């Protein structure tokens, strides 16, 4: 039976310094010595063969050619056998909720993949439960046996006036959160027009963060690198993960920002942007790898930051450089270089034993000097975190939906109409603003599944208003009668339902009301797949592998309906994200995110 994880964090370096010195000098024994490894030194960019490392109290004490002097009677000795010693990997930007699981379950899933540090922005739960929701995830993060640092959400709602979330965060909330022990900075500042316009809320939140000496996260989701971009950078954000082109990464780095290159379940932005380093010759120390975000199925079947590093290497980066981007660069960005991100004296003893560096084949994972996983299997048990009743039962529809709620009435006398259509872009977060000519039948606008135009609706779920916004979407390829509904709908997290059958759309939405949230797929009146997410309608309270199995069933059901998109669920969940161009849906209506204005469905 796995041993229960020790969640006690090592003493601060300053309190342990004399003990570390004694071990390094051979006056006291180490707790653990790993011998005969190839030290991947992210400070010097070298791989140093024949290296020993000595660990005591959860921190590195000695890293050098021979730690024999630190071995005592009670010292555990591990022979690396010439394998690589790699710092524990860091995910610089992510949202745990997108994994469909809690912080605890996320850690259980990613530790075997070598992730020992995460910088999470819980703005999903913040949009549902406000500051109390952030506190819940903050406290759960503190209880983990690895390093889970929390960024205080900055934009709740993400675009004031264009959507209504379940809660609202203020400058006072941000100021309070900056005093919490595990808040590392301000989460991605998505209201980039607000920053450029000196919006007092955005300016106030950034100022509170800077005064606290913490990092301001960025999110500039526009291709315009002119004055709005320069105004945004001048406002204070220090990094950005929304770039999709090499010129985006170059522009950010030239302005003193860190370019975060993401490889999530549905966003593939590393390959295009890493050319700024591999072809443009820019300094790689200003580039950081992250996921933003990973679906539970990806975590269980493909990996986490090991997957990102492996991919970055395949795009032409030296392995040591890719590892720097997922370790030291991240730690330095958040001011934690004396705690995380490298194998060096005084740092937390997070180390991976890797047999194939380019393939990132991780044999063993150590966190704070304790072996946490071996051979891809977790060796510890992390007790479940108990979420209170107030974090559940958050899906409030106010009434039972019926198929007629999804009727779109055509202009009087029209036989055909031209409509705006949200166009999904595979493997990217942005959408296209498309147009389509649709037939009118009995006064109602009809879908056109032959040309991949089906219906989308957003159903208000925080206040029980019963409100429904109807529009059209293209890109899912559904050919059968079906509908998929999700209470995960970044960022306000109402319910989004996409389908070719209004009856199935109503059934899917009502089912989420019954189970308290999640994602469900119906076809011809039958439920084909369901992932329950009762915690804020965003997260499951089940084990990650169980959630992944349910998600796999959902993916297969979507394929049978005709959807061939890579990780279509993640694409579905972003259709209401009114801070990323070009066209989105919200409880206010159809939103043009290039002009930040509501637009009519009919052209």
Q: Is the torsion defined by CA of 148, 149, 155, 157 positive or negative?
A: positive
| β-strand pairing of 115-120 with 147-152 | parallel
d(CA 384, CA 294): 21
Q: What are phi and psi of 333, to 5 degrees?
A: -60, -40
Same domain, 542 and 441: yes
Residue at a domain's end among 317, 332, 347: 332
pLDDT at 298 over 90: no
Same domain, 427 and 496: yes
CB-facing half-sphere around the CA of 165: CA atoms within 13 A: 27
pLDDT tier at 1, thresholds 50, 70, 90: low
- Residue 321 lies in domain: 92-332
| Per-residue pLDDT reduced to its tens digit, 62-98 | 999 999 999 999 999 999 999 999 999 999 999 999 8
Residue 342 within a domain: no
Residue 536 within a domain: yes
Instruction: Copy the structure tokens of residue 349.
Output: 């003893």
d(CA 334, CA 318): 24
Same domain, 309 and 449: no
For 60, 94, 403, 488, 554, the CA distances from 491, given in Å and listed in that order, are: 40, 14, 26, 8, 22
- Are 372 and 378 in contact by the 8 Å Cβ rule? The answer is yes
Same domain, 125 and 262: yes
For 245, 424, 454, 457, 505, the CA distances from 561, given in Å and listed in that order, are: 33, 17, 13, 19, 14
Q: What mean pLDDT comes out for the span 491-518?
A: 98
Same domain, 437 and 530: yes
d(CA 486, CA 132): 23
Residue 328 within a domain: yes
Let me know if 509 is exposed, middle or buried by CB neighbors in 10 A (0-12, 13-18, 19+). buried
Residue 59 within a domain: no
Q: What mean pLDDT comes out for the span 518-540?
A: 98
Same domain, 320 and 466: no
Residue 110 within a domain: yes
pLDDT at 254: 98
Same domain, 309 and 451: no
pLDDT at 295: 77
pLDDT at 555 over 70: yes
Same domain, 483 and 591: yes
Instruction: Copy the structure tokens of residue 251.
Output: 């522009």
User: How many distinct structural domains can be found in the chain?
Assistant: 2
DSSP of 176-233: HHTTSTTEEEEEEE--HHHHHTT-HHHHHHHHHHHHTT-EEEE----S--SHHHHHHH
Same domain, 309 and 427: no
Same domain, 323 and 218: yes
Instruction: Copy the structure tokens of residue 157.
Output: 């709602």
| Whole-number percent of the chain with pLDDT over 90 | 93
Residue 14 within a domain: no
Same domain, 592 and 501: yes
Same domain, 297 and 403: no
Residue at a domain's end among 332, 350, 376: 332
Q: Which DSSP helix (H) or strand (E) runs through 116? A: strand 115-120
The CATH number of the domain holding residue 179 is 3.20.20.140
Q: What mean pLDDT comes out for the span 112-116?
A: 98
| Per-residue pLDDT reduced to its tens digit, 158-185 | 999 999 999 999 999 999 999 999 999 9
Of 66-70, 144-148, 289-293, 355-359, least confident by mean pLDDT is 289-293
pLDDT at 7 over 80: no
Instruction: Copy the structure tokens of residue 76.
Output: 């555990």
Residue 515 within a domain: yes
pLDDT tier at 442, thresholds 50, 70, 90: very high
Residue corresponding to tokens 């490894």:
37
pLDDT at 43 over 90: yes
Residue 51 within a domain: no
Of 48-62, 223-237, 297-311, least confident by mean pLDDT is 297-311
CB-facing half-sphere around the CA of 315: CA atoms within 13 A: 22
Q: Which residues pair with 138 in a beta bridge?
A: none
Q: What mean pLDDT comes out for the span 217-237?
A: 97
Residue at a domain's end among 316, 332, 348: 332
Mean pLDDT of the chain: 96
Higher per-residue confidence, 572 vs 294: 572
């Amino acid at each position: 039976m796995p041993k229960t994880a020790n969640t006690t964090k090592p003493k601060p370096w300053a309190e342990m310094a004399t003990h570390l010195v004694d071990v390094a000098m051979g006056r006291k024994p180490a707790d653990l010595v790993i011998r005969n490894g190839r030290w991947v030194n992210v400070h010097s960019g070298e791989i140093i063969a024949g290296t020993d490392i000595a660990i005591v109290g959860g921190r590195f004490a000695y890293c050098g050619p021979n730690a024999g002097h630190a071995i005592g009677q009670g010292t555990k000795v591990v022979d690396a056998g010439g394998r690589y010693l790699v710092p524990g990997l860091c995910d610089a930007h992510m949202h745990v909720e997108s994994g469909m699981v809690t912080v605890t379950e996320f850690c259980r899933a990613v530790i075997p993949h070598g992730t020992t540090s995460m910088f999470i922005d819980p703005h999903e739960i913040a949009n549902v439960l406000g500051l109390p929701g952030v506190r819940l995830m903050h406290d759960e993060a503190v209880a983990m046996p690895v390093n889970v640092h929390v960024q205080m959400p900055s934009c709740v709602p993400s675009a004031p006036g264009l959507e209504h979330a379940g809660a609202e965060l203020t400058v006072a909330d941000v100021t309070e959160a900056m005093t919490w022990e595990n808040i590392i900075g301000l989460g991605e500042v998505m209201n980039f027009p607000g920053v450029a316009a000196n919006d007092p809320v955005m300016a106030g939140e950034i100022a509170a963060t800077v005064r606290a000496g913490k990092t301001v996260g960025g999110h500039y989701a526009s291709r315009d690198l002119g004055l709005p971009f320069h105004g945004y950078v001048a406002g204070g954000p220090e990094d950005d993960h929304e770039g999709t082109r090499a010129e985006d990464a170059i522009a950010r780095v030239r302005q003193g920002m860190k370019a975060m290159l993401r490889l999530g379940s549905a966003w593939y932005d590393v390959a295009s942007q890493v050319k700024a380093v591999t072809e443009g010759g820019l300094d790689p120390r200003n580039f950081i790898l992250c996921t933003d975000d990973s679906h539970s199925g990806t975590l269980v079947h493909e990996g986490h930051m090991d997957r990102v590093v492996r991919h970055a290497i395949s795009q032409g980066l030296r392995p040591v450089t890719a590892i720097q981007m997922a370790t030291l660069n991240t730690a330095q960005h958040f001011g934690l270089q004396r705690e995380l991100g490298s194998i060096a004296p005084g740092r937390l003893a997070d180390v991976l034993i890797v047999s194939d560096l380019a393939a990132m084949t991780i044999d063993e994972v150590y966190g704070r000097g304790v072996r946490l996983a071996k051979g891809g299997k977790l060796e510890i048990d992390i007790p479940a975190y108990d979420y209170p009743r107030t974090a559940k039962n958050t899906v409030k529809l106010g009434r039972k939906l019926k198929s007629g709620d999804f009727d779109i009435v055509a202009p009087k006398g029209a036989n055909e109409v031209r409509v705006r259509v949200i166009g999904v872009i595979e493997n990217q977060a942005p959408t296209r603003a498309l147009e389509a000519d649709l037939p009118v039948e009995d006064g109602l606008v009809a879908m056109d599944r032959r040309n991949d135009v089906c219906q989308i609706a957003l159903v208000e779920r925080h206040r029980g208003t019963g409100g429904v916004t109807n529009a059209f979407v293209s890109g899912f390829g559904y050919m059968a009668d079906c509908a998929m509904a999700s209470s995960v709908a970044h960022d306000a997290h109402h319910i989004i339902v996409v389908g070719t059958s209004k009856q199935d759309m109503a059934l899917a939405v009502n089912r989420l009301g019954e189970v308290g949230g999640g994602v469900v797929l119906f076809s011809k009146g039958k439920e084909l797949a369901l992932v329950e997410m009762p915690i804020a309608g965003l997260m499951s309270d089940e084990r990650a592998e169980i959630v992944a199995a349910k998600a796999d069933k959902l993916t297969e059901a979507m394929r049978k309906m005709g959807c061939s998109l890579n990780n279509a669920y993640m694409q579905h969940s972003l259709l209401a994200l009114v801070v990323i161009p070009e066209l989105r849906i919200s409880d206010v209506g159809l939103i043009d995110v290039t002009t930040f204005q509501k637009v009519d469905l009919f052209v």
